[in-house]
């Protein structure tokens, strides 16, 4: 396009707005039209166009363009300013905020954002070079195991200088010396809202938004308190015992003397307290499972059981299974808990199949060995085969996976996603 013939639709000589300001305003309008879920991020931004030349930047409050650069970018590709705005908005939504990071981490964040935008490929954010960028991203994602910047960083660090320079020219859209303050909930709330909107949108349209949804799921993963979870599995059981504090022998004797063998007031012989009677903790012992996270998880689970009082009269089965049930340790006291965690050894090392545990537990229930099973918690880091039918007890799969891989679980099961750092933090607090 001949720069001398460069015009912005709707402009007239004598307007107060500069060409750059009109382009920036148009970019915001087009972005909200293409990606409505970003409107809550874009609309509150103060979009400013300064004189001179320079990369766009965003600090969470102000989106800053420069007159010469935005005019030049629009002249070379009408969609480029909209793409730059979308790029910065996604950085905010995905939590790429806070203190400055390394150049490699910064490039990783850019690659994640650009991959999402290229996957969606909307009319006003599409720019040339899409196939090359997606290929480069998918190679790094495969090496890292997931589109997570902290996992991608080590592979970017090991790149040859020329290759890293090429990637920076492909993916860099903004000035990373300017970053929004640490995320204090504002952007994460928007990310949660966007994920909800995207799930409904994808079900209806089936377009290329799956990449964004996958990244948002990683972003919105909740860290969970195991104690709070176990308390949900606690059942209330009546414990029959004499309560001497409530017994009054005077009224008791008076009733017997007056009415024969009918006491006027009897003692309260039952008291109710929370007690988790029976519970199953299944451990995936396939080849990828590490002993350290398993031990820390068991310690945290047992700590919650102690608080519930289940160490006194509980019936807790700790089952190890890969493709077959390898071991079943029954815990009925605190001494059993301590002995198991101190002497724990992983037995297995094969593939991952969740079904044998459910078959085994169903047999325990049918044989009467488990009479009041409240729930089963399956600790795993892999993808396995699930039972086809819903069991009679509540089930949760706890996925300990730093790569945040997507997994489909049966509709009858619950899921928790944790990272090894969550277990380390629990260990440090204990």
Both tokens of 303, joined, read: 């700590």
Domain 226-232+273-429 superfamily per CATH: von Willebrand factor, type A domain (3.40.50.410)
165-169 contact pairs (CB < 8 A, 24+): 167/107, 167/111, 167/136, 168/107
- Sign of the dihedral defined by the CA atoms of residues 153, 154, 155, 157, in that order: positive
The angle subtended at Cα 301 by Cα 372 and Cα 216, nearest 5°, is: 105
Q: Which of 357, 290, 288 is nearest to 320 (CA)?
A: 357
State the pLDDT at residue 46. 94
> Helix (H, G, I), strand (E, B), or coil: what is residue 273?
strand
359-389 burial string, b = 16+ CB within 10 Å, else e?
ebbbebbeeeebeebbbbbbbbbbbbebbee
State the pLDDT at residue 240. 47
Edge-to-edge, what's the strand order for the sheet holding 315-321?
325-331, 315-321, 278-284, 373-380, 394-400, 414-418
* Domain ranges, ordered by start, for the chain: 3-219, 226-232+273-429, 239-272
Please return the burial class of 301, using the count of CB atoms within 10 Å of its CB with bins 0-12, 13-18 and 19+. buried
State the pLDDT at residue 158. 92
Q: Read off the pTM.
A: 0.63
State the pLDDT at residue 307. 66
Three-state helix/strand/coil letters over 303-319 = HHHHHHCHHHHCEEEEE
State the pLDDT at residue 13. 45
- Provide block-wise average pLDDT over 10 residues at a time, the chain (430 residues): 44 67 95 87 92 92 94 95 94 86 93 91 93 93 86 91 94 91 72 68 56 67 58 51 56 69 57 61 83 80 67 77 91 83 85 92 91 86 85 87 70 79 50
Please return the burial class of 250, using the count of CB atoms within 10 Å of its CB with bins 0-12, 13-18 and 19+. exposed
> Which ranges constitute the DSSP H helices of 260-403?
291-308, 310-313, 334-342, 355-366
Q: Which of 32, 212, 207, 181 is nearest to 112 (CA)?
A: 212
């Amino acid at each position: 396009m001949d720069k001398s013939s460069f015009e912005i639709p709707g402009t007239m000589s004598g307007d107060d707005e500069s060409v750059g300001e009109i382009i920036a305003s148009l970019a915001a309008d087009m972005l909200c039209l293409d990606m409505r879920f970003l409107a809550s991020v874009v609309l509150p931004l103060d979009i400013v166009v300064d004189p001179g030349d320079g990369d766009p930047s965003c600090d969470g409050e102000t989106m800053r363009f420069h007159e010469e650069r935005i005019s030049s970018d629009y002249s070379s590709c009408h969609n480029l300013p909209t793409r730059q705005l979308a790029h910065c908005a996604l950085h905010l939504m995905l939590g790429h905020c806070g203190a400055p990071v390394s150049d490699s981490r910064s490039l990783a964040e850019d690659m994640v954002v650009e991959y999402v935008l290229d996957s969606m490929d909307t009319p006003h954010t599409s720019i040339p070079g899409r196939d090359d960028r997606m290929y480069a991203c998918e190679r790094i994602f495969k090496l890292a195991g997931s589109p997570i910047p902290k996992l991608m960083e080590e592979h970017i660090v090991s790149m040859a200088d020329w290759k890293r320079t090429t990637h920076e020219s492909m993916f860099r859209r903004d000035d990373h010396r300017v970053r929004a303050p640490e995320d204090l909930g504002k952007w994460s709330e928007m990310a949660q809202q966007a994920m909800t909107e995207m799930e409904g949108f994808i079900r209806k349209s089936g377009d290329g938004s799956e990449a964004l949804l996958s990244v948002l799921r990683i972003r919105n993963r909740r860290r969970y308190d195991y104690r709070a979870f176990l308390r949900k599995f606690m059942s209330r059981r009546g414990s029959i015992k004499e309560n001497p504090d409530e017994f009054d022998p005077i009224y008791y004797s008076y009733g017997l003397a007056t009415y024969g063998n009918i006491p006027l007031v009897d003692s309260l012989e039952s008291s109710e307290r929370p007690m988790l009677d029976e519970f199953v903790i299944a451990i995936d012992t396939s080849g990828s499972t590490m002993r350290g996270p398993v031990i820390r998880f068991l310690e945290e689970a047992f700590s919650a059981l102690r608080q519930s009082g289940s160490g006194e009269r509980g019936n807790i089965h700790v089952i190890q299974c890969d493709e077959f049930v390898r071991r079943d340790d029954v815990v009925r006291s605190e001494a059993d808990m301590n002995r198991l965690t101190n002497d724990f050894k992983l037995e297995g090392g094969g593939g991952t199949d969740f079904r044998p545990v459910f078959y085994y537990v169903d047999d325990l229930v049918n044989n009467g060995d488990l009479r009041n099973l409240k729930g089963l918690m399956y600790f795993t880091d892999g993808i396995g085969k699930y039972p086809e039918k819903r069991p009679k007890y509540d089930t949760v799969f706890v996925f300990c996976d730093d790569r945040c891989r997507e997994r489909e679980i049966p509709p009858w099961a619950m899921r928790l996603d944790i990272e090894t750092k969550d277990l380390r933090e629990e260990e440090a607090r204990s």
